[in-house]
Amino acid sequence: MRKMLVLAAAISLTSSLLAADPAQVPYPEGYRQWTHVKSMTINQGHALYDAFGGIHHLYANKRAEQGYKSGKFADGSVIAFDLLEAKAADNTVQEGARKVLGVMHKDSRKYKDTGGWGFEGFKGDSKIDRAVGKSAATACFQCHAAQKNSDYVFSIFRR
């Protein structure tokens, strides 16, 4: 009986450690069907190469798409930054493996310290392996803060 109690306590502790932090940015399910905003390739020699080298595509959910038009992103806006390896061969550059899936998720209350945006990165093709976690303020917002006039978003919708 004591063994079972210990086991139960252990399971309970593990569960609470694994329970999602309510401030965690959710994985952007279905983003590959969202609207494609624009793309860019960052090559070796660029200051951001270590973090963002490769081909990136930006995708916006419906609410974020409106935000790109109006310049102000409503709560619920989500932008996905899909970073793939850039494979150069035979005078082409092609998409390789996914390096990280970056996410900006607007919730002006939850993320009030970082411009109303939650930031996260999902490593490779994982939906749970997080690259940013609690370091969004230094790892992401430090750069995005400069874009205050466009609601902290760098990209512009390509027509």
Nearest distance from C-beta of residue 69 to a copy of itself, angstroms: 12
Residue 68, interface with a copy of itself (CB under 8 A)? Answer: no
Supply φ then ψ for residue 66, to 5 degrees. -60, -40
State the Cα–Cα distance between residues 16 and 53, nearest whole angstrom: 36
Residue 38, interface with a copy of itself (CB under 8 A)? Answer: yes
Residue 59, interface with a copy of itself (CB under 8 A)? Answer: yes
Kindly write down the DSSP assignment for every residue of 28-85, as one continuous string. -TTGGGSEEEEEEEE-TTSTTHHHH-EEEEEEE-HHHHHHHHHS-PPTT-EEEEEEEE
Nearest to 126 by CA among 103, 98, 104, 105: 98
Using CB under 8 A, pick the residue from 66, 95, 130, 139 that binds a copy of itself: 95
**How many residues interact with a copy of itself (rule CB under 8 A)?**
27
Residue 70, interface with a copy of itself (CB under 8 A)? Answer: no
**What's the token pair of residue 80?**
């996905």
Residue 123, interface with a copy of itself (CB under 8 A)? Answer: no
Cβ contacts of residue 19 below 8 Å, gap of 6+?
A: none
Using CB under 8 A, pick the residue from 49, 75, 108, 135 that binds a copy of itself: 49
Residue 57, interface with a copy of itself (CB under 8 A)? Answer: yes
List contacts with a copy of itself (CB under 8 A).
Answer: 32-33, 35-36, 38-46, 49, 55, 57, 59, 65, 90-95, 125, 158-159
